[in-house]
Copies of this chain bind each other. A is one copy, B any other.
């Protein structure tokens, strides 16, 4: 059973701290009385403030329409403790399975959106759809992170990074080069 992290508020303009390294994330959504979760690796930071994140959510995913219709989702950050859950969620469809129940995850109410947070994740970022200009052409959603919740420990969560073919790499060591940065670049 994964630990249920105690989370505190985190500045939305600093979510790059967790998303830029490219972790697999779990995207939770709600439309009317149905929730769903999908596994996603194709995302990028786009802007600090407003805090914008772009996500490629394939049209084949049950979550695609739920997120497009509701205009909301939560991007949750799992760690290696949830490896098999991440794989299980990525290999089942919300059209057939209630993923919170199937994978023993806890849906918590968000503050700014209807989509639920996943309590067992290290961080949860509440998102509103900001721009759907590229959804039809590339399934590319641009979200604004409107509220962020992050566990204070561990400082460097052991995230999962997908490489395809069923193989992940995990977050390894920490390399601090702050002393080599120009102040304006930090």
Contact = CB atoms under 8 A, between A and B. Distances in A.
Number of copies: 2
A114 interface: no
Given A133-B134, A173-B169, A174-B167, A42 B42 contact: no
A57 to B, nearest CB: 11
Contacts of A47: 56, 138
Nearest to A88: B180
Contact of A87 (B80, B166, B180): B180
Interface stretch (A17-25, A63-71, A103-111, A115-123): A17-25
Interface of A: 14, 16-18, 20-23, 41-47, 52, 54-56, 80, 83-84, 87-88, 90-91, 131, 133-134, 137-138, 140, 142, 156, 158, 160-182, 185-186
